Amino acid sequence: MPQSRSGPAMVPRLLHCVTLCLLGAGPLGATVTQNPRYQVTRIGKPVYLSCSQDMNHDTMYWYQQRLSQAPKLLFYYYDQDFNNETDTSDNFQPSRPNTSFCSLGIRSPGVRDSAVYLCASSRDTELERYHPS
């Protein structure tokens, strides 16, 4: 590919990835499903990620995992009770309209937001975390 000749105008500089993992069946055969599975977006174009679980779990979490880093908790809901980590960017817009569903909006994605976003759920007494395979 004649990359050296294509010049900056040909390089999709504004394109970056927000990658998502679809989490499969857990140990009990129950599921946490994330949608979309992968998303490539442009810087500044809002992104909406959704997650659902069919186990009636009261707690749902969103984690962010940047390249070669451990997943970091962004926030979680215990029922409708929202808990935020103090250093989480206000660029994120979470919601949990009902028990089985939560979403994560990114208002204006930047390069720093390029990551794997992981959704997890648990019952308060028993922690069942779901990790990508």
Ligand X SMILES: *[C@@H]1O[C@H](CO)[C@@H](O)[C@H](O)[C@H]1NC(C)=O
Applying CB under 6 A, the span of 15-23, 28-36, 89-97, 119-127 interacting with ligand X comes to 89-97
By CB under 6 A, what part of segment 55-84 binds ligand X? Answer: 84
Alpha-carbon distance of 121 to 72, in angstroms, equals: 15
Per rule CB under 6 A, is residue 109 in the interface with ligand X?
A: no
Burial of residue 20 (number of CB atoms within 10 Å: 0-12, 13-18, 19+):
buried
Select the residue interacting with ligand X from 90, 111, 125, 133 (CB under 6 A).
90
3-state secondary structure of 96: strand
Residue among 7 and 97 whose Cβ is closer to ligand X: 97
Q: Which of 11, 102, 100 is nearest to 56 (CA)?
A: 100
Binding stretches for ligand X (CB under 6 A): 84, 86, 88, 90, 92, 94, 97-98, 100-101
